């Protein structure tokens, strides 16, 4: 689960990390009022969307006067902000953060992220933080340092010394940096985060560190333990079809491929995606209809998947354990009637009442329904249909 910059900064502040004074605004009037209440005479107006790279897309702007705050706020609110991290048509800016502009002498990069391959927490630091960190990583890997922390051992002095040595900080700055790192690690562990990225972490002209940007993401499977984090969820930032699926108790994640999948059970859904990949295709989604799959939830699954314009074929792979295959077949036939299926559907039903289910589907004699018995054959056929359609 992701949160906004202003929310992440509130957490940083709570743990004693310096952040610039700032206020949230939903209108240009509120933006003006916020600026009046803040210190200084220069402000930074920052679009609050769940995506980075805002500076490059026009979502971070400096205002040198109160009237500029008002006009920038007017332009920014409601705009569709396109950054390298947003969907192609951007994300609508519904709120902005008005922040005191700081006097920056240096921008560095610091992040903590879960490293699945190494099975530990990876601290990544760069001497050159700011808006072009991706290029730095590509062109100047020597400016980037990675230190892995085994969560069983925790963050120790040797990890911190390693990073301080890399930055070649003075003694005074080393102490300050060390405090920040310890606090970030504490947030990471105590809140079950899987990413904390401070880019940039800046040094001001007075040699103080400030977190000028903050990105935080939390483990979806652990967030139930943190009601204060759950309260920060912003439904406007979620993929609408994923929210809708959740309401119907479907576990749906939209992906970029063209073969839609309807499967029961998360493990089987993952395996189905692997098999589609193996057959040379790409899944358009992950979808687990769950153990309580019924005709209505299957119909809902079709509705959500068919709304995705990328989908060129659908592979239904159901293993009937508690779920009865004939009920699923009923759901498929209902959906077929409702949506006048133009998209080829490949169906593999195995387990409880699968023979009855197959008979129901076959005798319906619907043009676009293809019943298969074997998983690999099914995946190959679904991929074949998806690719054929792509060529048209």
Q: Are strands 345-351 and 313-320 parallel, antiparallel or unpaired?
A: parallel
Q: Does 49 bind ligand ADP (CB under 6 A)?
A: no
Q: Are 32 and 73 in contact (CB under 8 A)?
A: yes
Q: Does 83 bind Mg ion (CB under 5 A)?
A: no
The residue range among 95-103, 249-257, 309-317, 361-369 that interacts with ligand ADP, by the rule CB under 6 A, is 95-103
Residue 311 CB partners (closer than 8 Å, separation 6+)? 258, 259, 260, 284, 305, 343
DSSP-based three-state secondary structure for 248: coil
Decide whether 9 or 380 has the Cβ nearer to Mg ion.
9
Which residue's CB comes closest to ligand ADP? Answer: 55
Tokens 């790192």 correspond to: 181
> 93 to each of 13, 74, 150, 199, how far by Cα in Å?
24, 11, 38, 21
String of contacts with ligand ADP for each residue 320-359, x by CB under 6 A: ----------------------------------------
Decide whether 109 or 315 has the Cβ nearer to ligand ADP.
109
The residue range among 44-52, 140-148, 236-244, 326-334 that interacts with ligand ADP, by the rule CB under 6 A, is 44-52
Q: Does 130 bind ligand ADP (CB under 6 A)?
A: yes
Tokens 């759950």 correspond to: 230
For residue 30, give both structure tokens: 């509120």
Q: Does 5 bind Mg ion (CB under 5 A)?
A: no
What is the distance between the alpha carbons of residues 350 and 341, in angstroms, rounded to a whole number?
A: 23
Nearest to 98 by CA among 47, 154, 162: 47
Residues 210-239 that bind Mg ion (CB under 5 A): 213
Judged by phi (left if over 0) then psi (alpha if -120 to 50, else beta), residue 45 lies in beta
Q: Does 52 bind ligand ADP (CB under 6 A)?
A: yes
Residues marked active site are found at 109, 197
Q: Does 288 bind Mg ion (CB under 5 A)?
A: no
The CB-of-387 to ligand ADP minimum distance in angstroms stands at 37
The residue range among 54-62, 224-232, 311-319, 382-390 that interacts with ligand ADP, by the rule CB under 6 A, is 54-62
What is the distance between the alpha carbons of residues 8 and 1, in angstroms, rounded to a whole number?
A: 12
Helices and strands in the chain, H and E counts: 14, 18
Contact partner at residue 90 from ligand ADP, Mg ion, none, CB < 5 to 8 Å by partner kind: none
Residues 11-30 that bind ligand ADP (CB under 6 A): 20
Decide whether 90 or 290 has the Cβ nearer to ligand ADP.
90
Contact partner at residue 101 from ligand ADP, Mg ion, none, CB < 5 to 8 Å by partner kind: ligand ADP
Decide whether 39 or 88 has the Cβ nearer to ligand ADP.
39
Q: Does 60 bind ligand ADP (CB under 6 A)?
A: yes
Helices in the chain by DSSP H: which ranges?
5-14, 28-37, 54-57, 66-76, 133-139, 157-167, 171-190, 227-230, 240-247, 266-278, 295-307, 325-339, 354-364, 375-391
Residues 186-205 that bind Mg ion (CB under 5 A): 199
Overall size of the chain counted in residues = 392
Interface contacts to ligand ADP, rule CB under 6 A: 20, 44, 46, 52-55, 60, 99, 101-102, 104, 107, 130-131, 199-200, 212-213
Interface contacts to Mg ion, rule CB under 5 A: 199, 213
């Amino acid at each position: 689960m992701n949160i906004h910059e202003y929310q992440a900064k509130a957490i940083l502040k709570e743990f004693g990390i310096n952040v610039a004074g700032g206020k949230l605004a939903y209108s240009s009037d509120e933006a003006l009022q916020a600026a009046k209440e803040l210190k200084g005479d220069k402000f930074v107006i920052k679009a609050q969307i769940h995506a980075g790279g805002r500076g490059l897309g026009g979502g971070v702007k400096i205002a040198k006067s109160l009237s500029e705050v008002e006009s920038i706020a007017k332009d920014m609110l409601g705009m569709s902000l396109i950054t390298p991290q947003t969907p192609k048509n951007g994300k609508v800016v519904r709120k902005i953060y008005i922040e005191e502009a700081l006097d920056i002498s240096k921008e560095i990069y610091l992040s903590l992220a879960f490293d699945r391959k190494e099975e530990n927490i990876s601290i990544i630091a760069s001497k050159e933080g700011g808006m072009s960190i991706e290029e730095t990583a590509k062109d100047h890997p020597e400016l980037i340092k990675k230190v892995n922390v085994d969560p069983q051992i925790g963050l120790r002095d040797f990890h911190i010394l390693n990073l301080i040595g890399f930055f070649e900080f003075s003694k005074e700055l080393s102490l300050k940096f060390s405090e920040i790192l310890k606090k970030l690690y504490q947030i990471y562990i105590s809140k079950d985060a899987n990413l904390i990225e401070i880019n940039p972490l800046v040094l001001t002209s007075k040699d103080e560190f400030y977190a000028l940007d903050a990105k935080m993401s939390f483990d979806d499977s652990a967030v139930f333990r943190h009601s204060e984090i759950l309260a920060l969820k912003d439904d406007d930032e979620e993929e609408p079809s994923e929210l809708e699926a959740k309401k119907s108790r479907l576990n749906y994640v939209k992906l970029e491929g063209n073969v839609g999948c309807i499967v029961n059970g998360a493990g089987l859904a993952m395996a189905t995606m692997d098999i589609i990949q193996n057959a040379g295709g790409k899944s358009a989604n992950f979808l687990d209809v769950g153990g309580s799959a019924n005709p209505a939830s299957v119909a809902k699954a079709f509705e959500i998947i068919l709304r995705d314009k990328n989908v060129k074929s659908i592979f239904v792979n159901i293993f009937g354990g508690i779920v009865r295959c004939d009920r699923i077949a009923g759901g498929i036939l209902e959906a077929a009637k409702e949506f006048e299926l133009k998209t080829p559907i490949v169906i593999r039903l195995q387990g409880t009442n699968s023979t009855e289910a197959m008979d129901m589907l076959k005798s319906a004699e619907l043009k676009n329904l293809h019943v298969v018995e074997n998983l690999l054959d099914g995946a190959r056929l679904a991929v074949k249909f998806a690719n054929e359609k792509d060529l048209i």
